[in-house]
Structure 1
Amino acid sequence: MLSALLALATSSRSLPPPPLQFSARIVTTAHQLNATDDYPPRTRQLTVYYDFPARRSRVDYDGVAPHEPPKAFVRRYDLQFEWSVLELGGEKACQKSRLREAMPMPRWPEAMRLVGDEMARGRRCERWREDHGEEVVELLVERDGGAPVRLTTHIVDPSSPDGERSPLLSYEVLDFEPAAPPEEAFRMLASSTSPVFEGAGALRVEQCERVAQEMGFPYIHFLHSYYYT
């Protein structure tokens, strides 16, 4: 009887909608890579400033490996303009481009199902799962408020009778602030003086080299395929 009641309570819950305004630090881990290798790095750290209603985003990458210099990407969909800042050997450079497309809307998959509750980093969380057969995605969100805590993709061993899984890539969401970042965070001054850079000097948009044919920059997927910019 108790198990039936628990199953009923679980089935009646809905996955909270994805937050639309926040700032957070995200640590990604590629579990199949060797932690002792410099490149590609097994872990990456990035800071995300995200405001979907205002149509703007910023992602700062820490330089965690010799072949991964610190960089910042700002996309002002509201202004149809974007730029990136890169630091090599203490010297900063930037590129700019027109931004032609609309800001991608974040989404959680409709097929995700609740598999239970658990504690993570001292927080009561819900574990949601999407099963693609050979790939399984698990999402932890806070029970109160729905803030994302961790997202992990797994590969399923097809030869295993029990469907044994191995983690591929995880996204650990830290220092989550569920509020609109200030508009100043999406300006050149803030992005070119980000804490990820060693040099304190700021850049101006006029100093940026224009990307050839205004092709812009590749999308950044900072929470699997559910959040990208």
Structure 2
Amino acid sequence: EAWPTLDRAAAAETFVGLYLGRLRDGGMPDAALAREVVLARNVGAWAVGFETGRRADGATVLIEQRGVMEIEAPREPFRLSARADRLELHDGRLTVMDFKTGAAPSWKQVRAGFSPQLSLTAAIARAGGFPGLGTPEPGRLLYVTVTGRRPPATEVDRSGDAQSRDPQPVDVTVDEALEGLNRLIATYERADQPYVSRTAPQFAQRAFSDYDHLARVREWSVAEDAEGGE
């Protein structure tokens, strides 16, 4: 947010100050900050190059914007909302970006519908759901993993374009995600459709959520293990 008015020579150190300040505000002790200073400096230098390059063509950049679209459903409209880490408009095409500290989802996970976040965000934007952005066509779906190590960050494109192993236009990726959501809405409109805590347990993470707690997943999963089940 501060980039347009920053002194470029001091931008990297400004990033370091913001980063360490947020950690202190969160309660991190000074002893633990020694390691974070090194990571912060690595990311700070990377961030300056990142911002310079991403904005070189005069792109419109929106940070932490909320978008909403309504989808027609049998009983009442379904409201889909998203808060995008970063949106960039380049020559009428939109890049939707998500910053992560862990690994980006695989192309297979995106295609199968397990990670539709960026695809559906692009669909909201295309429908005019982000104020001041118009109705841009999807451009890129980009995950940026930031670690502070070497390299400090990596960019992973999950648009489904020609660089992917299973190439397809990004518009198709967005359409598939929206079609999948519509099927899901229609499924749960049925009175006989139960709300289950794990619809695809073979792909579930090991961590337990609040929904798993309500469904007593830990109990029956341990029971299955004891009986030799998977």
Please give the range of the TM-score, normalised by the shorter of the 2 chains: under 0.3
Superposition TM-score, scaled by structure 1 size: 0.24
Q: More helix by proportion, 1 or 2? A: 2
Larger Cα Rg: Structure 1 or Structure 2? 2
Q: More strand by proportion, 1 or 2? A: 1
